Amino acid sequence: MENSPDRDFEDFFIKNQELVYKVIKGYILSDEDAKELTVEAFIIVYKNWQRVAKMQNPRGYLIKVGVNLAKKYRRENGKNISIFSLDENTPANTKSVEDQTFEKDKNQWLSREIAKLKDIEKQVIILRDLEGLKFEELSRFLSIPLSTVKSHYRRGKLKIIKSWEVQNGEE
């Protein structure tokens, strides 16, 4: 028995909703706005589902739609970019105030540095480091050659390291 288009989309939604949310959240600060943009991205894909389902990389298309919505959101709302936040899985009361403050400062600094990267470097670092995707998966996902994915990742990381060295006088 063949799946209906609606069932195929439902499966696609279930498999990809968390990833799209995390990528969008990597571009904007607000959890609620990231949730809304995630829904909006899926609505856009659903409206074009017959065409999207036939694409070689529908997941990559979905991510591109989500990233474009996040960029539009930032432009229209003048919002700052936030890539990392304090680890929500670790209860605050298990960390000292100093550790919490240091972690918050570190995450804010890292967010600012990632925000300075080119969009493709930002996407690769978010998907690799936050989502744990392998380089081969990123290559297929973003529809770019493996060597290019690795280059963007390396370049982005080097920019962050260089900034750290400059800030801490280690140059």
Domain-by-domain residue ranges, the chain?
Answer: 1-82, 94-171
Backbone angles phi, psi at 137, to 5 degrees: -65, -40
Residue 7 contacts residue 43 (beta carbons within 8 Å):
no
Candidate CATH numbers 3.40.50.720, 3.40.309.10, 1.10.1740.10, 3.40.50.1820; the one for domain 1-82 = 1.10.1740.10
Over 80: is that where the pLDDT of 12 sits?
Answer: yes
Question: Where is pLDDT greater, at 102 or 18?
Answer: 18
Domain 94-171 listed as CATH 1.20.120.1810: no
Q: Cα dihedral sign for 150, 155, 156, 162?
A: positive
pLDDT of 25-76, one tens digit each? Answer: 877 767 888 899 999 999 999 999 999 999 988 988 998 899 889 888 888 8
pLDDT of residue 99: 65
pLDDT of residue 148: 94
pLDDT of residue 58: 92
Model pTM score? 0.58
Residue 74 contacts residue 119 (beta carbons within 8 Å):
no
Mean pLDDT of 112-134: 84
Tell me the pLDDT of the chain averaged across its residues. 81
Q: Exposure pattern of 146-166 as b/e (b: 16+ CB <10 Å)?
A: eeebeebbebbbebbeeeeee
Q: Which residues contact 98 (CB under 8 A, 6 or more apart)?
A: none
Q: Do 1-82 and 94-171 have matching folds?
A: no
